[in-house]
Structure 1
Amino acid sequence: MPSTSPVPPIAELLDSTRQSACHLEMRDVYAVAPESTELAAWRRTGQRSGPESAYWRSWVELVRRAVARGVSVRRARVVSEPVTEYIRFEHAGTPVNLAAGEDVRWLPRRHASDIALPGNDFWLLDGRLVRFGHFNGDGALTGHELTEEPAVLELCSAAFETVWSRAVPHDQYRIH
Structure 2
Amino acid sequence: MTRMLIVGPPGAGKGTQSKKISEELGIVAISTGDIFRENIKGGTALGQEAQRYVEAGNLVPDSLTNRLVEDRLAWEDAADGFLLDGYPRNLTQVEAFDGILARLGARLDVVLELVADKEELVSRLSKRAEMEGRRDDTEDVIRHRLEVFESETAPMIAEYSTRGVLRQVDGLGAVDEVNARIMKELP
Q: TM-score range by the shorter chain?
A: under 0.3
The structure whose residues are more often strand, as a share, is 1
Larger Rg computed on CA atoms: 2
Query: TM-score, normalised on structure 2?
Result: 0.26
TM-score (norm 1): 0.27
> Which has the larger share of helix?
2
